[in-house]
Amino acid sequence: MSFRDLLNSLPIPILQAPMAGATFEAMTVAVSQAGGLGNLAAAGVAPEELGAVVDAIRAQTGAPFGVNLLMAPAASPEPAEVDAARARLAPWYAELRLDVPDPPNRFSQVFDDQLEALRRAAPPLASFSFSILTRAQVEALHAAGTFVVGTANTVAEAVAWAEVGADGICAQGFEAGGHHAYFLADIEASSVGTMALVATVLAAVDLPVIAAGGIMDGRGVAAALALGASAVQMGSAFLQADEAIIGPTWQAALRDAPDDATRLTRAFSGRYARGLENRFVREMRAVQDFVPAYPVQNRLTQAMRAAADKAGDPELMSLWAGQAVKLAKPGAAGEMVKQWWAEAQATAQALVARTAKT
């Protein structure tokens, strides 16, 4: 079966976006069981633990699912850069009555070890963001029976993934919540809206395209399929699902968010990501270009974000969310997927009626 066949065979062509820190096993299972395709966000999972999680998901659903890794570069920053970053963060930690933590031994999981664990776990699908695999790495996953999806913010990135043998492209538009995938050009040159990106990627590569970014309900699903996407990947729309693992402060911020509330920021992690604007985003804007690149800044702010969450302070948390997140609603993830599909079908029927008029 080709990856295109797999997507076409899904009862509901909705993929739940992997969301590190916001979703885990339960949502992956719920969405795959409902007829969509759930994705495990495995960026923070240690290599030695990955196999057991994948086995647990496989045991709970006979349906296809995916596992996602973020391709963090191995970081060995100069001590002076880390000290400067820690000094910049000191006043923020002080607000929470905390000292800036000592530099960690390691800034993220070791990607090559995670990839090897993923290959051994052999999930039906694996997706990647932040960089690109080599052809040999893609072939190793294929040999294990795993389809490979590369995330792209630009046509050039989609073409690059096609050249290393990926089976599909997740076209992640500028609207998307959380971290953006860009790896060939800077954020400005990589800021393409979902509608423009899906259409131009489809024109450039002969691979199934999964549309992501700003899709919050069945109308968005229908729109993406009308553009030619084989499926959609929705993230922020699931943040208020029962299976989401975000705390009450993030939940409340989502519920109370004003219109047009999201911004791209580099301040929390050293890589541009979209979230609700808060005081940290605003006040760090002037210096965000100088913070160390991902994953260093991400690790250095981790304890601050966790402490702010514990203290119920949304101003110092990374409240990742995509544009139009105001349309997201609470519910059980499986029911949400079914409802969006019913809405998409109704939208398509209304369009048939509308376009039939002469």
Residue from 36, 124, 295, 322 in contact with ligand FMN (CB under 6 A): 322
Q: Indicate which single residue of 12, 22, 75, 304 sits in contact with ligand FMN (rule: CB under 6 A).
A: 22
DSSP label at residue 308: H
Residue 321 and residue 240 in contact, taking contact as beta carbons nearer than 8 Å: no
Contacts of 78 (CB under 8 A, 6+ apart): none
Report the nearest approach of ligand FMN to the CB of residue 126 (Å): 11
Select 13 or 178, whichever has its Cβ closest to ligand FMN: 178
Q: Does 344 bind ligand FMN (CB under 6 A)?
A: no
Determine, following the binding rule CB under 6 A, whether residue 320 of this chain makes contact with ligand FMN. Answer: yes
The whole-angstrom separation of Cα 241 and Cα 253 is 15
Q: Which of 12, 20, 57, 336 binds ligand FMN (CB under 6 A)?
A: 20
Size of the site for ligand FMN (CB under 6 A): 29
Q: Among 13, 64, 124, 235, which residue sits at the site for ligand FMN (rule: CB under 6 A)?
A: 235
User: In this structure, are residues 43 and 20 in contact, taking their beta carbons and an 8 Å threshold?
Assistant: yes
Cα–Cα separations (whole angstroms), residue 260 to 254, 274, 277, 322: 12, 12, 10, 10
The least CB distance from residue 91 to ligand FMN, in Å, is 26
| Residue 125, strand partner residues | 66, 147
Stretch of 16-24, 55-63, 142-150, 161-169 lying at the interface with ligand FMN (CB under 6 A): 16-24
Beta bridge partners of 171: 152, 211
Spatial distance between the Cα atoms of 87 and 224, rounded to a whole number of angstroms: 45
Question: Taking the complex as a whole, how short is the minimal distance between the CB of residue 52 and ligand FMN, in angstroms?
Answer: 19
Q: How far is the CB of 130 from ligand FMN (least distance, A)?
A: 8
Report CA-CA distances (Å) from 306 to 198, 210, 288, 302: 35, 32, 20, 6
In the structure encoding, which two tokens stand for residue 63, read together?
Answer: 């349906």
Query: For residues 149 and 170, is the Cβ–Cβ distance under 8 A?
Result: yes
Judged by CB under 6 A, the chain residues 190 through 229 that form the site for ligand FMN are 212-215
Q: Does 302 bind ligand FMN (CB under 6 A)?
A: no
126 binds ligand FMN (CB under 6 A): no
Strands 125-129 and 65-70: parallel
Given a contact cutoff of 8 angstroms between Cβ atoms, the answer to whether 129 and 153 are in contact is no
Per-residue mark of binding to ligand FMN, 85-124 (x: CB under 6 A): ----------------------------------------
Asked if 68 is part of the footprint of ligand FMN (rule: CB under 6 A), the reply reads yes
Q: Can residue 295 be called a binding residue for ligand FMN (CB under 6 A)? A: no
30-59: which residues touch ligand FMN (CB under 6 A)?
41, 43
CA distance between the termini of the chain: 41
Would you say 100 or 220 has its CB closer to ligand FMN?
220
Q: How far is the CB of 274 from ligand FMN (least distance, A)?
A: 7
